[in-house]
Structure 1
Amino acid sequence: MNETLITIVAGLVMLIGLAGVVLPVLPGAVLIWGAALGYGLLAGWGESGGWLFGLITLLGLAGLGAEIWVTGTGAKMAGASLWSLLAGLGLGLVGMVFGSLPGAVAGLVLGTLTVEYLRRKDWDQAVKASLGTLAGYGLSYGVKLVIGLMMIAAWLAWVVIG
């Protein structure tokens, strides 16, 4: 297969993956990683391909963990318990299935709010914990976007350097 065509297809799949960083219906980091793997298998690894693919893999793993870690950090800073965060993440997954991004956000907030209220019997604290969780969730998108861009930059270096 033509190396130029392989490069173009891999780049387009990576751009779709970058969109998936923001749209939870697409596995963003996984698509970017898979495109890099496909590029290596089809176009060859070259001198630096193995090392740069290793970097892309590590960045991809960091991207997968970023959403949970950053969301959890925001929740903890606002006083949310582990149980409320787990309930929020669980309802967020259910919401994502039924309502895409708005459903995921609504489930995350509703789960955190409900468990925090049941735990503390204080609406102000429950709302504060929910807002902290929401802020962490929003920040996680920025972190995942930067990681996705770093993965693509490593791949571009691989394409240029060889």
Structure 2
Amino acid sequence: MTQFFGALSTGVVIFLLLLSLVGTLIPIIPGVLLMWVIVFIYALVDGFTAVSTTSFIIISLITLVTGTSDIWLTLFGTKKGGASVKSMLIGTVGAVVGSFLLPIVGTIAGYIGGLLLGEYWQHGDWEVAKKAGFGGLAGWGVATVIQFVGGIFIFAIFLWQVIF
């Protein structure tokens, strides 16, 4: 009976990890962080026997780098596109407002809209504003891919530790 509940709980964890992996593709859901929390709880309850401490440290490092990539890559892309700090702050406010008005898509649309408005107000030139907006969008897109790939690595490490 204990093996049944162990297999059932592992199956539930795998399902939750897969849902969180899909969450990496949705801007407002912190999919990689959710994956880390799920693995942490599983490892804690299991006493770090199925998931070794070393594997958990590797998963934590992957989470740290990929889970924050939407922040630093978006800022890098925006800065590379020529946006000012003021425009990035306006974009951040736009992302927060957009998240509430139109969940999922509103986060990206609000950020890009805020960047465009901030740069247009500062320079009075839509071409400059579009360049900054495209840089922010490109950074966000790359970050999404990195988070998804990081999530795949976390999932693979978990499966390798628990099943094999």
TM-score norm. by structure 2 comes to 0.89
1:9 corresponds to: 12
1:158 corresponds to: 161
Q: Conserved in 1, the CA contact under 8 Å of 2:73 and 2:143?
A: yes
Q: Conserved in 1, the CA contact under 8 Å of 2:27 and 2:108?
A: no
Runs (5+) with no aligned partner, structure 1:
none
The one-letter code matched in structure 2 to 1:140 is A
Q: Conserved in 2, the CA contact under 8 Å of 1:56 and 1:151?
A: yes
User: What is the Cα deviation at residue 157 of structure 1?
Assistant: 2.1
> Structure 1 residue runs of 4+, over 3 Å off?
none
The one-letter code matched in structure 2 to 1:86 is L
Aligned-residue RMSD, C-alpha:
1.7
**Residue 49 of structure 2 is aligned to residue 42 of structure 1:** no
**Distance across 2 between alignment mates of 1:18 and 1:48:** 19
Runs (5+) with no aligned partner, structure 2:
none
2:148 corresponds to: 145
1:119 corresponds to: 122
Correspondences of 1:43-62 after superposition (within 5 Å): 43-46=46-49, 49-62=52-65
TM-score norm. by structure 1 comes to 0.90
More moved, 7-16 vs 39-48: 39-48
Correspondences of 1:85-104 after superposition (within 5 Å): 85-104=88-107
Q: Which residue, out of 22, 25, 39, partners 1:22? A: 25
Per-residue Cα deviation, 1:103-154 (whole angstroms, up to 9, x for no partner): 1122111110111112222211011111111111111110111111111122
Query: How many residue pairs get matched?
Result: 161
Tell me the percent identity. Answer: 33
